[in-house]
Structure 1
Amino acid sequence: MIKILPHTINFAASAYPEKEAFIYGKESLTYFELNKKTNKLASYLISHGVQKGDRVGVYLFRSIETPIAIYGIMKAGAVFVPIDPELPIARINFILNDCNINYVVTNPNLRKKHPKIIELKNPLKGFIGADLESDFNSITWPALFNTSIEKYSDVSLNEDDLAYIMYTSGSTGFPKGIMHTHKSGLSYARLSVNLFDIDENDRLASHAALHFDISTLGYLAGPLAKATTIIISEAHTKMASSLAALIEQEKITIWYSVPLAIIQLLQSNALNDKNLDSLRLVLFGGEVFANKYLSQIMNLCPNTHFYNIYGPAEVNQCTSYKVNTPPTNETIVPIGTVWEETEYLILDDKGNLNIDGDYGELAIHSSTMMKGYWNNQTLTNKSTYVAIEGEKEKKYFKTGDLVKKNESGDLVFLGRNDRQVKIRGYRIEIDEIEAALLKHKYIIEAAVVVLHKNVNEKEIMAAIILSKEENISLKEIKAHCYDYLPSYAVPESIEFMPDFPRTGSGKIDRIKIMNIYTNA
């Protein structure tokens, strides 16, 4: 019986040893090879003093070594901690110290950064997968795979043990580590497999980097279903024509990404001449998908099923909505209903249970829910709503997202509770302004922020990206806003940008945009 995440590899290797588990470019791993190589990594870690519950960093760009790192670390009884290779060295050092990481799994294409990390004050004792010229403790991948594992045996784990810690941006300026157990990770994998009928015939596209929670569908649910996961390279994510060709060539059956990745494919017209008959599911989440682009991809793939996926990293996923028909500009696509093993409450603006229950902050209780924030009990407590049911307490994660119920009983995402502002006495929903801008046929993306000109003056500013071939005036855009928004919500200033700064997960970095124009 599968009770912890590494069991999925053991079972798949037994049932389908020669089946491809992961593919990256021209490289691939069968389930037999993955099982063998993860055992070798686990054995190495244990022999170097890594104990149950220790944290081990995964400092990799997308690569064939990524699944080896994930499952090898967990087989050693340790906790894998994804580290975004694009992070500044100081931020990487913060994670190493915060998690007391002694060993980091990496590969040679990051060799320029390895010495910089070693020089800083941190608990690092060694690299696995590095090709260092110094005498710092390290082992290359070929050397690791040539080691003997005669003395290796599985570490005893239970479902409540930590499996991974995923860092996301924190409001304090420091990243916060989201702790997931084997139970929460395996529950997510199992519920995904059940909801989307994933099986050994499926080929999942893993578009997101490991430090982004969307990646867990391919890395965790894929092996549970004994499916094949295609890890999409950094180069493919940046070249729409190559990515479209890869989708066709690999006969992808399940796609999951932020909407931006799909929009870029549409903007390039790269999908127009591709055979997408194999694509049975397109899942999207992380940000709102503008209706005009969702409608475009649905018309391009009429036999594909489309799902709007919702769930903060703290709960993996909690709701989904199947979009049956291409939406019009006026359609509001819900985030849907909660899936199995999940309950929700709606809280009022004071953080108490909303008696009416139809509008407010969404709070989630689920088997997929995090254990808490690493080294931050204060933040864990702050994000928790405790409901008393009979004589028992039930903990809910407060998402910070505002929702309402529609007439069909589906939940509709209204925006972040910290994206409501009051200007000149009017309460304004920032996300509503962005949605109105995106209704313009030539606006690809929009980001609205509030600029603090001085202590007493706030200004709504919209940054937009236009279709490359179009040239429209500010006057036209303002007129468009007046068609959809009350006058007090129309942005005072509108700025054209060639591209937006983005977070490591590909989401728009609105804080950076705000800083750019606040200091302009």
Structure 2
Amino acid sequence: MDNILKYLENTAEKFPDKTAVDDGNQQFTYQELLNRARHFGLSFLNRTEPGRPVAILHEKSSEVLSAMFGVVYAGCFYVMIDPEQPLERLKDILTVLETDLVITDSTYRHQLDDAGYQGQIYLLEEEPSDEAVTAQELDKLMERRSFAKNTDLLYGIFTSGSTGKPKCVAVSHQAVIDFIGHFTKQFQITDRDRIGNQAPFDFDVSVKDIYSAITTGATLVLVPKRLFALPPKLLDYLCDKKVTVMVWAVSALCLISSLKGLKYKIPEDARLIMFSGEVMPVKQMRLWQQALPQTEFVNLYGPSEITCNCTWYPVQREFQDGEVIPAGKAFNGRTVFLLDDTGAEITEPGKTGEICVAGESLADGYYHNEEETARRFVQGIIASTGETARYYKTGDLGYYGEDENLYFAGRKDFQIKHMGHRIELEEIERAFEKLDGVSRCCCLFDKKRNKLLGFYTGDSEEKEVHQELKRYLPVYMIPAKIRKINKMPLNKNGKIDRKYLAEEWS
């Protein structure tokens, strides 16, 4: 199949009365989701042209999901925008997209006015019908779709840009179809699963949740954002909804375990928990493994530009403090390799290089940004295969272990020069994690003051942590300033908000 809508249609035909999506307030069966998506599609048909981006300024919900598919029925691609975006960033996003249609509701409409948006606005209050579209209406949709190709864009996701302007990663139908095919097969996701969606829809982790459900007939359970401030209620929700699969950001899982949530209640229906986005602290990993000894845990790695993930590693033992959980080995359909600073491929264990990815499911590039696309998506000969192929340079560092697994070694921009030494901030963070009185940590470098800064949560006092770090780090790697905080601030994607910490320190 060359269009993601065919999967939705097939699943609705196979499981018409099965719950497709449940956001805690509103549920749709697969037939209802299909009907609403088609009605939305009809509403959008005459408001924009095929192939154009349609922005959705709203938090995730069952209704928003049906609108997303409605955009696809209209022959367009959707771009989710978080309503909590700062005004200037919203302006930048709308400038990049040049969209002539934004979907929102009356709660957020004023943001578009403030941003100076001049195009059409569709308010979600204009709810579509749950009834099936007529034959004539369906013909209109099918006519629009008849021109669709598998290379057409399905969605765009904005990431930060090195120039300070956000970049829109543009991903095709075929890229998602190829990846999700491998993903659901590898982890045996079926119609019996209930997938607990943690990520907002403008974060690519949600792509795995949404399309794993749509292609298999699993139920998509949207976890409300407000629950992440209340770990006991969050656990109640997971248990009440009988969630079986969780594909979460590392910090979201650590939010539960570090605040002793697993002592309150255990989501015992969870058969599979996958995590990505950051390095999982092994101390927190052990708490999850001990609470759910029968659950399968998987570390996933990969940026938005390669459609979700390119490597995976099943965590089948308890890792000890100071160890690193591998990023693992490539998914089928992917080629993952390392390049040194000269562009030569690295094969020997222990040598660090930039992680690069070729094969299926690469993004088309950055929408309306040919210069950055050309810089990061390159054509070249891959030494291990001897083939000339397009590949993506991730900007992440990695190395091979003696076990032949790939290990993540931080971002290129997390490697600093301090007191004449090249330092990986992740190495300092791993030393923090070895300390008994530390549960989570984050290390930053203040370029203006030329100082290393360390933040942590836990029971130990700052002086004690400073003293204990001397057991693991040379003096030049010990942060000049160490601060104990009540909890790690998280950004909207569930990762540690390093920018916020830096601003708080200054």
Give the TM-score, by structure 2 length.
0.93
Q: Give the distance between the partners of 1:296 and 1:116, measured in 2 at CA.
A: 42
1:97–1:123 Cα contact (<8 Å) kept: no
Q: Give the distance between the partners of 1:284 and 1:392, measured in 2 at CA.
A: 32
Amino acid at match of 2:409: L
The answer for the alignment partner of 2:197 in structure 1 is: 206
Match of 2:479 among 486, 491, 494: 491
Q: Give the distance between the partners of 1:322 and 1:86, measured in 2 at CA.
A: 35
RMSD: 2.2
Q: Give the distance between the partners of 1:385 and 1:354, measured in 2 at CA.
A: 18
Whether 2:263 is the aligned partner of 1:277: answer: no
Give the gaps of 5 or more residues in structure 2.
Answer: none
Shift of 1:273: 5.0
Whether 2:439 is the aligned partner of 1:447: answer: no
The SS at the match of 2:92 is helix
Amino acid at match of 1:55: P
Match of 1:83 among 65, 81, 84: 81
Q: Give the distance between the partners of 1:372 and 1:59, measured in 2 at CA.
A: 23
Amino acid at match of 1:257: W
The SS at the match of 2:452 is strand
Whether 2:298 is the aligned partner of 1:307: answer: yes
Q: Which deviates more, 318-327 or 229-238? A: 229-238
The answer for the alignment partner of 2:330 in structure 1 is: 338
The SS at the match of 1:503 is coil
Q: Give the distance between the partners of 2:378 and 2:110, measured in 1 at CA.
A: 44
Whether 2:274 is the aligned partner of 1:263: answer: no
The SS at the match of 1:44 is helix
The 1:147/1:104 distance shift into structure 2, 3 A limit, reads farther
The 1:366/1:442 distance shift into structure 2, 3 A limit, reads farther
The 1:446/1:271 distance shift into structure 2, 3 A limit, reads closer
The 1:451/1:329 distance shift into structure 2, 3 A limit, reads same
The 1:503/1:170 distance shift into structure 2, 3 A limit, reads farther
Q: Give the distance between the partners of 1:6 and 1:201, measured in 2 at CA.
A: 21
Shift of 1:374: 1.1
Shift of 1:13: 0.7
1:271-313 per-position Cα deviation (integer Å, ceiling 9, x unaligned):
3354643211010110111111100110000110000011111
Amino acid at match of 2:169: I
The SS at the match of 2:189 is coil
Q: Which deviates more, 478-487 or 265-274? A: 265-274
Whether 2:421 is the aligned partner of 1:426: answer: yes
Match of 1:381 among 365, 374, 382: 374
1:44-69 per-position Cα deviation (integer Å, ceiling 9, x unaligned):
10033x22111111222121112202
Shift of 1:146: 10
Match of 1:461 among 453, 467, 479: 453
Q: Give the distance between the partners of 1:393 and 1:11, measured in 2 at CA.
A: 37
The SS at the match of 1:345 is strand
The SS at the match of 1:62 is coil
The 1:259/1:355 distance shift into structure 2, 3 A limit, reads closer
The SS at the match of 1:484 is coil
Q: Give the distance between the partners of 1:285 and 1:330, measured in 2 at CA.
A: 19
Match of 1:399 among 394, 397, 400: 394
Amino acid at match of 2:71: I
1:40–1:149 Cα contact (<8 Å) kept: no
The answer for the alignment partner of 1:236 in structure 2 is: 227
The SS at the match of 1:191 is helix
Match of 1:254 among 222, 245, 249: 245
2:300–2:311 Cα contact (<8 Å) kept: yes
The SS at the match of 2:136 is coil
The 1:70/1:116 distance shift into structure 2, 3 A limit, reads closer
1:392-451 per-position Cα deviation (integer Å, ceiling 9, x unaligned):
631111111111111110001111111111222211111110111122233232221111
Query: How many equivalent residue pairs?
Result: 497
Q: Give the distance between the partners of 2:99 and 2:53, measured in 1 at CA.
A: 5
Q: Give the distance between the partners of 1:246 and 1:267, measured in 2 at CA.
A: 19
Q: Give the distance between the partners of 2:265 and 2:418, measured in 1 at CA.
A: 48
